[in-house]
Amino acid sequence: MKKQINLFLQYLRHEKNASPHTISNYRRDLAQFELFCHHQQTSWSKIDPTFLRSYLASLYVQGLKRTSVARKLATLRSFFRYCQRQGFIKNNPAEVLASPRLEKNVPSFLTEEEINRFLDRPSGDRPLDRRDDAILELLYATGVRVSELVGINLEDLNLNHRFLRIRGKGRKERIVPFGSKAEEKLKQYLKSRWQINKGQVEAEPLFVNYRGRRLTARSVERIVDKALKQAAIRRKISPHSLRHSFASHLLSRGADLRIIQELLGHASLATTQKYTHLDLKKLLEVYAKSHPRS
């Protein structure tokens, strides 16, 4: 099975243009399934829907949530679909399995008052403090995903016109504006970026860690947690919550839902609706009018 998994991951990388984060998730899910097959002494030819159900049941026994089990089942569906197309197997054993019914959770987000307290909290003046301030301001100013934020390069930043080039899911590019507050924090950070790690920093990434290397998504989570404590906000808020806050506040101030869709990089307004592109000038006008910190 290792051969088929490696070919599938290459297919995702080279033909589907999947992000490194997505490929990493697929690799981890398939490695876990392969290990289960090994422990059960099950050969490739004996994998059927009944065997897959026993695998999913083992995940529930391990305490995994329905969302995690659903993702792993989706991974298996994609993998076996690929194997079927390549002629490795005759039928897709995962196709007949129903996905777990998921609970619909209301996304967590901060109120405008909380956002201002969060972003205007007292912070230090060291280079890494300035970096953290710029990151938090940019997350709320743009609504980008954490994976997109850490992937931003210096060349993607246009300070003069206040916009970023973002590479989203499937490496699709979009232009995202940001406001004056984010511009101010970015300028302060960029002035001191060269001081990090005594100037030994990677040339490409916009945000680097204390070693001068590209920042990770996990590091951004720690930055958000630290800022929440500094702002005395005791609710559990993730970096993704800032994305929800961004969208909620724009919507409450009258921004068109299609504009928000464009800014967030969503493929559609809903599963039954077509994606509507809007020109950059219109997008920038609505953003400047609607964003609380524009």
- Is 169 among the residues known to form the active site? yes
**Is 145 labeled as catalytic in the residue annotation?**
yes
- Annotated active-site residue in 38, 191, 275, 282: 275
Backbone angles phi, psi at 96, to 5 degrees: -85, -5
- Which CA distances in Å does 90 have to 11, 43, 51, 97, 187? 19, 15, 16, 17, 58
Catalytically annotated residue among 13, 77, 121, 240: 240
Which pLDDT tens digit goes with each residue over 172-213?
888 999 999 999 999 999 999 999 999 899 999 999 999 999
In the set 131, 145, 167, 185, the catalytic residue is 145
| CATH of segment(s) 112-290 | 1.10.443.10
- State the pLDDT at residue 247: 82
SS3 15: coil
| 2-85 is classed CATH 1.10.150.130 | yes
41-63 tens-digit pLDDT? 887 778 888 988 898 889 888 88
Alpha helices in the chain (DSSP H): 2-14, 20-39, 49-61, 66-85, 112-119, 127-142, 146-150, 180-192, 217-230, 239-252, 257-264, 280-290
Indicate if 240 belongs to the active site: yes
Phi and psi at 59, nearest 5°, equal -70, -40
Per the residue annotation, which of 81, 121, 169, 213 is the catalytic one? Answer: 169
Torsion of CA 147, 152, 158, 161, to 10 degrees: 0
Contact 84, 90 (CB under 8 A): yes
Question: Which of these is catalytic: 77, 117, 165, 266?
Answer: 266
Q: What are the sequence ranges of the domains in the chain?
A: 2-85, 112-290
10-residue averages of pLDDT along the chain (294 residues): 89 85 90 89 82 88 85 90 89 82 65 91 92 95 92 94 86 88 96 93 95 94 93 87 85 77 68 34 67 78
Residue 275: active-site member: yes
The single residue of 243, 244, 291, 293 carrying the catalytic annotation is 243
